[in-house]
Structure formats: structure tokens, C-alpha cells
Amino acid sequence: MELCVISSINPFHSSSTRRLGSRRLFQSDSLFLSRDGCSLLRFDGRLKKPVKPLELSCAAKKIGSGGGGVRRSAASTKAPPAVEPSVKEDKLPAELQVKETQAPNSSVKLSVDVPAVVCEDCYQRVLTEFMKMAKVPGFRPGKRVPENIIVGFVGRPYVLRATVESILKRTLPHAMESVTGKALKDSIQIVSSFPEMEKAYSQLKTLSYEVVVDVVPELKWNPENGYKDMKVVVELGDEIDAKKACERQLRQKYKSLGALKIVTDRGLEVGDLAVIDISATTIDEDGSTGEAIPDAESKGFHFDTEEGNRLLPGFLDSILGIKAGESKSFSLVFPESWKQETLRGQRAQFTVDCKELFYRDLPTLDDSLADKLLPGCTTLKEVEETLTKRCQEMEEEAKEQATDNAILEQIRKMVEVEIPQSLFEEQGRQFYGARLLEIQGNMKLTEDQLASLSSQKSVNEFLETQRESITNIIKQNLAVGDIFKRENLEFSTDELVKEVENSVTEFKKHKQEYDEERVKDQVQEILEGAKVLEWLKERAEIQYITR
């Protein structure tokens, strides 16, 4: 029933899951030599099994002040070195010619020319590896086999492909040296066509290729250092007010003790429960009836009149007095604050059919009901005090969360940054993984349903429909990381160790696969964010208003 005003939950939690998919090294399926020079590995984009989203214990909300500090930067989590450590050990017989040009969305294009002497060296290495593995008739294993014989035995096309792949694998780390420390993990793409590289090498015995790699994005603050003296306005809904929340909870518990009885001699009054059918159509500017509004329709809707303020304004007043079996028609206008943008300001014609009407026969509210209202309590005063304490705690948590959200939203608006595509896709897949796990937790999915939801098509559709939300979260995270680095903030090493242990325990408890290094990264990012929020709140001028 979309007429109800229900607070929405942001699906993009700050904690994350492992990526559902991996990027292709090539734009098309390709083979790549392993370290032995001959074993061929295939890179593909098949989805990995999602894992349980990472959650921190309550202790993570506060940053410990004792123990050694761990200092991190945004670059440290987002940009592990793209060049293998072996690059210094594997000296090439000649230098590569690498031209670097800036590309859109915080990426760099590298145009690489590999000298003929390097290509020849890779070719000889490939032949040597084939000689070690191949059992050529007339030659003992490991002995030198003439080039024409080994090439003929293995097959010239296969040797050609293996050589090109060997050249790529050996030279790529050297070509990437200029972006060491800046390149984002899993963002390297060789955009040159593999068949064209094979053809070029077979004719010229040299090789040229182009690589595109995403790099750590640079943030621009507007105004510069504007986060240091922010003025933040936090809007709070009256539903979190502890006193009102306590009254609502007590009333709900009291109502649950009453018996429903059929109303026979009057119309609908506040306090009754009505079973109604609702239909609605738009009203055009000329006053004629327009299209049906499916989201405003409901059959057999149980309408508690004491919750009438959660519906469309004016709805309750329009049906007061209606009797069972009667129908009422009336027009209302959706407010500009309505959550569905397409309905904001829209005038609509409603028809309500009252099927059944009930009132509650409530017992006398006194101390004898205390234990039924709240087990363990002996008086109404004790019930009220206990509920008040709970609601006050909930109010503080809601207020703190609203403050954090307002601060994050404000710093997001202060930064200008180009989001690398690989970072967008990685974060989006993490969010989708969390969403998929939530669905799995709420309902048992069949293998076919899970396969469909885990398909690349489903992931891509999610990335596109949630592009703005994903981008906003990434900007928030980058802003937080930049502040953490700029202000030399620290968090407790003991806190980090404790939270990693707690997270690993949770993974094991639910029998989920996990990567301990990835868990550690996630914990560090969350603790980093908590420390930044704490630092910002100490310096910001915060004003609370009730909407």
C-alpha cells in the first residue's frame, strides 16, 4: 500500500562485500602465459559467489585512544601497486618506448613500443620452455632441439600466440612503472586487438600495444578546506522524539490486549480499524479522469485510523463516517514532499469501499496489565520508565545517524572528482552483492533464481539504475579518505585487530568464504570513516531542526 509514508532504508551501507565479478584483462577472451612460459590461463568475467557483508561490532562506533596508531590514506586502500616486484629483477635487453597520455574518468593511456631485441628474447624463452616440456622424437628431454623442428612439432600458430603473450606478460610490468602507486587494482586493460598484435609481430618481429589503466582520482575541494568549519543543518523527524515514541509504543501494546468487535450502529471513527478497498485515478487539468494509479490501489487494506497521519494528507478526514458496505469518492492532491516524484503535486480521484468495520474493546488500563504490556514489569509507571529509557536510546542513535548522514552529504557536495570506471564497477558490485545477500536472507532462492540474479546482465542493470547513488557514495568515501590523510588522523591498532577478529568470526559462523586481507581493508576503511566523522563533528557548527 504505497499511500503509507514509510521511511526508506539506504541499500548502500558503508560496509562492503567482496566483488561479484572481475574485469577482463583484454576486451575479448584471451589466453595468457603463466610463469613457466607455457601453461595457458584464461581470463573471464564469470561472477564469484557473494559473501556476507562485513559488519562491525558496536565498539567500532568509538575510536580507541590507547595503543599504537595506524595511519592510512585513500590511496593506500584504492591503489595497490600495479607493477609486480619482479620487474626490477627481470631486466629487459632494451628499454621500452612508453608514451603516457591522460584519458577521461581518471585514467591513463600507455602506448607501448617493444623493441625487436626484446621480442626476440621472449621468443627464445618460449622455445626453451617448449623444449623442456615437449617430447620430440629423436631428442632426449631437456636437450636443445633445432628451432625449425620444435616449431614444426608444436605448431607455428601456437608458438606465435605464446610468444605474443609472453611479450605482453613480461613487458607489461615494465610499461606500468610510470603509474606505480597510482594505478587502481584490477583496472588494467590491454585495448589493442590480440589478432592484430599477432599479425604485426609475425610480419615485423616487433610489437606495439596500448594499455588503459585507472589511477587514483584527484579531489578538488570547493571551497578549499571547507570541511574544517562546516555549518550543518540536521533535519529530524518527530517520529524519533523519545516522548512521542514512548507514547506510541505504549498505545500499540495496550491496543494489542483489546478484542476486535464489529461496529453495527455507526460510521467510522478515529480509533476504529477498517478493512477497505482503495482505487485511484489521476485528474487532468481540465477536470477529466486520467489514468489509474496502481501504487495507490489496494484490496482488503487494514486501515488503523490511529495511524491515519502516515497516509496521504486528508485521506482519513475524507472517509470518517463511512459505514460497512458503503463507498465514498473524493479528490486529494499529493504533496510536493511525496516520495514518488511522478505523483508530486498530482490531483487524484479516490474511491474507497468499506468492507468491514471494527472497534477495540479495551480492558481497564491499570497496574494489573503491567506484565502483559512489558514482561517483568509490575506497575504502569515501571512500564513507562522502561519504554522511555529505550526510546531515549533509540532517539540518540537516530540523531547520531542523522548527523553523520548530513555531514557526509555536505562533504560530498564540496568535492569535485572524476570517478574511474573500475572503481565505480567494483563499488557497485559490492553493493549489489549486499543486496543479493539480503534477498537470500529474506527468501529461499532456487538455483535458477540465484543464477539469474547473479548474471552479468542483472549486475549491469543494477549499476545503471543505481548510478547516481553509487557515485555519491564513492564521492563520500573519497572525501573521507582525503580528510583522513590531510589531517594525519589515526586509530588504534588494538581496535583494528579486534574488529578483524570479530569479522572473521562472523564469516566462519555463517560458513562464508572470506579473504582476510580484504576483511582487513574493509575494517580499516570503516574505522577510518568513523574517525573522520568524529573529527568533523568536534569542529562543525551543528543545528537540529524538526520537520
Angle at 207 between CA 171 and CA 80, to 5 degrees: 25
**How far, in Å, CA of 197 to CA of 212, rounded?**
16
Angle at 411 between CA 410 and CA 415, to 5 degrees: 120
Mean pLDDT computed over every residue of the chain: 81
Read off the C-alpha cell for 535: 573529527
Q: What is the pLDDT of residue 142?
A: 66
Backbone φ and ψ for 462, nearest 5 degrees, come out as -65, -45
Q: What is the pLDDT of residue 509?
A: 86
CB-based contacts of 112, cutoff 8 Å, min separation 6:
96, 97, 98, 171, 175, 208, 209, 210, 211
- At 117, the pLDDT band (50, 70, 90 cuts) reads very high
Higher pLDDT, 55 or 230: 230
Asked whether the predicted pLDDT for residue 342 surpasses 80, the reply is yes
Read off the C-alpha cell for 204: 615485423
For residue 232, the cross-strand partners are 542
Of 54-68, 110-124, 332-346, minimum mean pLDDT range = 54-68
Instruction: Give Cα separations from 392 to 353, 357, 376, 380 (angstroms).
Output: 40, 36, 20, 18
Asked whether the predicted pLDDT for residue 187 surpasses 90, the reply is no
Do the Cβ atoms of 205 and 120 come closer than 8 Å? yes
* pLDDT digit string, tens, across residues 294-326: 888 999 999 999 887 778 889 999 999 999 999
Q: Report the CATH architecture of 259-361.
A: Roll (3.10)
Closest CA to 273 of 290, 259, 292: 259
Residue type, 169: K
| C-alpha dihedral sign at 36, 39, 45, 46 | negative
Read off the C-alpha cell for 343: 505523483
Mean pLDDT (whole number) for 234-243:
86
Asked whether the predicted pLDDT for residue 77 surpasses 60, the reply is no
Q: What is the pLDDT of residue 87?
A: 61
Q: What is the pLDDT of residue 19?
A: 27
Asked whether the predicted pLDDT for residue 432 surpasses 80, the reply is yes
Read off the C-alpha cell for 401: 545517524
Mean pLDDT (whole number) for 329-355:
90
Domains 30-50+80-215 and 259-361 equal at CATH topology level? no
Asked whether the predicted pLDDT for residue 162 surpasses 80, the reply is yes
Of 65-69, 282-286, 440-444, 530-534, minimum mean pLDDT range = 65-69
Residue holding cell 621468443? 123
Q: What is the pLDDT of residue 2?
A: 38
Higher pLDDT, 278 or 285: 278
| C-alpha dihedral sign at 264, 267, 269, 273 | positive
CB-based contacts of 141, cutoff 8 Å, min separation 6:
132, 135
**How far, in Å, CA of 169 to CA of 335, rounded?**
61
Q: Provide, rounded to the nearest whole percent, the portion of the chain with pLDDT above 90.
A: 54
20: left (phi over 0), alpha (psi -120 to 50) or beta: alpha
For residue 333, the cross-strand partners are 347
Q: What is the pLDDT of residue 362?
A: 93
Mean pLDDT (whole number) for 498-518:
87
Asked whether the predicted pLDDT for residue 232 surpasses 50, the reply is yes
- Listed in sequence order, the DSSP H helices in 142-276 are 147-154, 156-175, 194-204, 242-255
**How far, in Å, CA of 19 to CA of 49, rounded?**
9
Q: What is the pLDDT of residue 150?
A: 85
Instruction: Give Cα separations from 140 to 134, 137, 151, 443, 530 (angstroms).
Output: 10, 8, 17, 62, 65
Whether the bond into 11 is cis, omega within 30 of 0: no
Of 115-119, 232-236, 508-512, minimum mean pLDDT range = 508-512
Higher pLDDT, 311 or 2: 311
Closest CA to 186 of 84, 47, 79, 109: 79
Asked whether the predicted pLDDT for residue 46 surpasses 50, the reply is no
Whether the bond into 223 is cis, omega within 30 of 0: yes
For the domain spanning 30-50+80-215, the CATH number is 3.30.70.1050
Q: Using the 8-state DSSP alphabet, how is residue 177 labeled?
A: G
Q: What is the pLDDT of residue 438?
A: 82
**How far, in Å, CA of 528 to CA of 532, rounded?**
6
Supply the Cα-derived Rg of the chain in whole angstroms. Answer: 32
Q: What is the pLDDT of residue 237?
A: 82
Asked whether the predicted pLDDT for residue 58 surpasses 50, the reply is no
Mean pLDDT (whole number) for 121-133:
89
Instruction: Give Cα separations from 114 to 183, 190, 472 (angstroms).
Output: 21, 14, 41
- At 11, the pLDDT band (50, 70, 90 cuts) reads very low
Q: What is the pLDDT of residue 6?
A: 27
* Stated pTM of the model: 0.65
Give how far the C-alpha of residue 247 lies from the chain's centroid of Cα atoms, to the nearest Å.
36
Mean pLDDT (whole number) for 370-389:
94
Domain extent listing, the chain: 1-17+52-79+417-547, 30-50+80-215, 259-361
Closest CA to 411 of 420, 400, 403, 423: 403
CB-based contacts of 236, cutoff 8 Å, min separation 6:
398, 399, 402, 544, 545, 546, 547
- At 517, the pLDDT band (50, 70, 90 cuts) reads confident
Mean pLDDT (whole number) for 369-398:
94
Asked whether the predicted pLDDT for residue 47 surpasses 50, the reply is no
Higher pLDDT, 52 or 167: 167
Read off the C-alpha cell for 39: 601453461
* pLDDT digit string, tens, across residues 447-472: 888 888 888 899 999 999 999 999 99
